[in-house]
Structures are given as C-alpha cells and as structure tokens.
Amino acid sequence: MIRVGLIGAGFMGSMHSNVYGLIPDAKLVAVCDLDRKRAEELAQSHGAKVYTDADELLHDDALNLDLVDICLPTLLHTEYALKAAKLGFNILCEKPFTLDLESADQIIAATEEAQVEIMVGQCIRFWPEYQYLKEAVEKKTFGEVQGAWFSRLSPLPTWGWENWLLDPARSGGAAFDMHIHDTDFILYLLGKPQAVTSRGVIDQYGMSHISTQYQYDDLMVVGECGWNYPQSFPFKMQYRVICQQAVISFDGTDLVVYPYDADAYKVELAKEATEGGASSGNISDLGGYFNEIKYYIDCLSQNQSPQTVTAESAKQSVAVTLAELESVKTGITIIL
C-alpha cells in the first residue's frame, strides 16, 4: 500500500484525490492546503489527516508516507520537491516540472542523492486518445508519419488560487501551463526536434498564444496553444497526424482514422470507470489522470522507476518550451 500525502487541494489536487479513491494500492492519508476547507473537503472521503502547513505534513513521521504528491502552483514545485526529496519521499509533481532548467537540475540531483523516485504529471502521455496515437506511430500501423498538428485552446483560466495562473512569474503563462502538454507529447512521439520556430502573443498574462514549428527531417510538425479565447469558448485539445496510409484525427471528442484507400472509421477506446473530475477547471474526465497515477503507483509498488515519464524527459520538455519562448521573443529559429 502506497501512503500518499497531497499538497495543494485545488483543481488538480481534487483530480488526484478522486483518482486515489479508485486505486486500491494507494491510500491518501494526508491533505494540505493553505485553505483548510479545501483540504478538509478532499480529506473527508479518504479519512485523511488535514494540514494547512506543508512543512508540518512533511515532518509528521506518524504518517509514514511513501509518496508526496505536489499539486501546488507551478512556482512552488521546486521548493516542495526539494524538501520532499531531502526527507526521503518519492514524489509525484504536477506539470510543468519547473519554470527553469536550474530548478529541474536541482530536483533531479536531490532525488538521485536521496535515491527516491520522481514522476512529473505529463498526463497527455497517459491520455487514451494520445496513447492510441503513440502506439499507432510506434507500430507504424499506418506507415511513417509525414506531418502532425497539435492544438490546445482555452478561455482565460480565472479559477486559480489568488489568480496565480494569470501571473506569468508563477505559472509561465499559457506556454508553460498548457502548451507544454503538446510540446512534451511531440517529444515523446517523435523525439527531440532539431529546432523550433515560434510566433506568439505576449500580453499582461505572459505568453497567451503560441504557435511553433518543430523541425524534423522530412516532417512538418506544428503545435498551437492559446488561452486568450472568450469564456464561452469550450476548452479543446486536438490533433491530426498524417501517416503514409491514413490520417488520424482527434477533434477533442471523437478519434477518427481516415485511410486513403478505405472509409473513415471511429476508434472506440475502452475506458475504465473514471467519471468525476474536479469541480472547477476545464477537464471533467479522470481518464488520463487515472492512467497516469495508477501507472506510478504500480511502479512504486513494484520498486521500479517510471519509464513513461522520466525526470530527464520532463526537463527536456521545459528546455524546448524555453526555446519556443526565446524564438517568440527574438523572432529567430532556435537550434536545439
């Protein structure tokens, strides 16, 4: 049984808490939030202990924690990941890993020194429609990839604690908060690009819209993300991947394969019972989060290091996102 202490009981903490309730090998034993009511709400159904000071949670030996789950605003990831590692706890850290490479290096060094595991919540690697794509590309089900387009659009996220999402110093703007999902998945699917060329809109909330061309040999890959959409615009994540024999398309709802020499067909994915997301934010299905956390709990239960997301791969996604920002700011292509 993996005993979990959760720090941060907002949108993502609520998702994670719901997932722990679905995993028999994990037990949520402690929840911390500056806002006691939020922590209490999540702790209740698990019979978990409530904290308003994360240091108290981390130093409560009676909890006998195996895993510290960090669902704090992004700027706080480094401080609490370092504390958790130094105390010998395995870590699940929400994405983005960090906002700069030095912090990622410090965390990686601390986890290696303490010999603890860390996984970053790059949940798209576990999202069923994206898992389908990864497998199809790996197995060359429809031949080689010739081009790919990924998109992630949202109204301005105004639900964060103290509006931290709209403070680029704390969230990194849409580039780090949303777009990194697609950057990370593109790296996972196709490897590291040779270069990135990005254009974007920078406003008072940071990089609020970004479009990047990821340069590969003989391959055209584009990723676009914006959170500068009206409140009436529904959150949407989508992709289209052109392979030699078919186009695979996910429009945010339906996953459809369009073969060049046959009729199109909808792919029905088997999903576990994962309804019941968080009460705010933009995603209500637990699917990808369930797969992600279940995978990590299984790794920890079997004393194995996670392979689907490594700390180095999460750091590389931070590095490429930083290069994209540099490209927007300088107007030039950044060689990686």
Ligand X SMILES: NC(=O)c1ccc[n+]([C@@H]2O[C@H](COP(=O)([O-])OP(=O)(O)OC[C@H]3O[C@@H](n4cnc5c(N)ncnc54)[C@H](O)[C@@H]3O)[C@@H](O)[C@H]2O)c1
Residue pair 256/136 in contact (Cβ under 8 Å)? The answer is: no
Cα–Cα distance between 23 and 290 in angstroms, integer? 8
- Contacts to ligand X from residues 131-160, by CB under 6 A: 160
Counting contacts by CB under 6 A, is residue 206 touching ligand X? no
Counting contacts by CB under 6 A, is residue 322 touching ligand X? no
Counting contacts by CB under 6 A, is residue 183 touching ligand X? no
Q: Which of 34, 202, 220, 267 binds ligand X (CB under 6 A)?
A: 34
- Contacts to ligand X from residues 64-83, by CB under 6 A: 71-74, 76
Question: How far does Cα 321 stand from its chain's mean position?
Answer: 13
User: If binding means CB under 6 A, how many residues of this protein chain bind ligand X?
Assistant: 27
Q: Which of 29, 42, 50, 54 binds ligand X (CB under 6 A)?
A: 54
Binding mask 3-22 for ligand X (x = CB under 6 A): ----xxxxxxx---------
Q: Name the minimum Å distance from CB 316 to ligand X.
A: 17
**CA 49 to each of CA 52, 66, 96, 296: distance values in angstroms, whole numbers, following the listed order:** 10, 15, 27, 23
Angle, helices 11-20/36-44, rounded to nearest 10 degrees: 20
Looking at residue 105, its amino acid is D
Binding mask 249-288 for ligand X (x = CB under 6 A): --------------------------------x-------
Counting contacts by CB under 6 A, is residue 33 touching ligand X? yes
Counting contacts by CB under 6 A, is residue 208 touching ligand X? no
Counting contacts by CB under 6 A, is residue 200 touching ligand X? no
Q: Name the minimum Å distance from CB 63 to ligand X.
A: 16
The SS3 assignment for 91 reads strand
**CA 185 to each of CA 13, 175, 181: distance values in angstroms, whole numbers, following the listed order:** 22, 14, 6
Residue sitting closest to ligand X (CB)? 10
313 Cβ contact partners less than 8 Å away, ≥ 6 residues apart: 122, 184, 187, 188
| Closest-CA residue to 55 (of 35, 13, 81, 83) | 83
**Interface residue list for ligand X (CB under 6 A):** 7-13, 32-35, 38, 54, 71-74, 76, 94-95, 121, 123, 160-161, 164, 177, 281
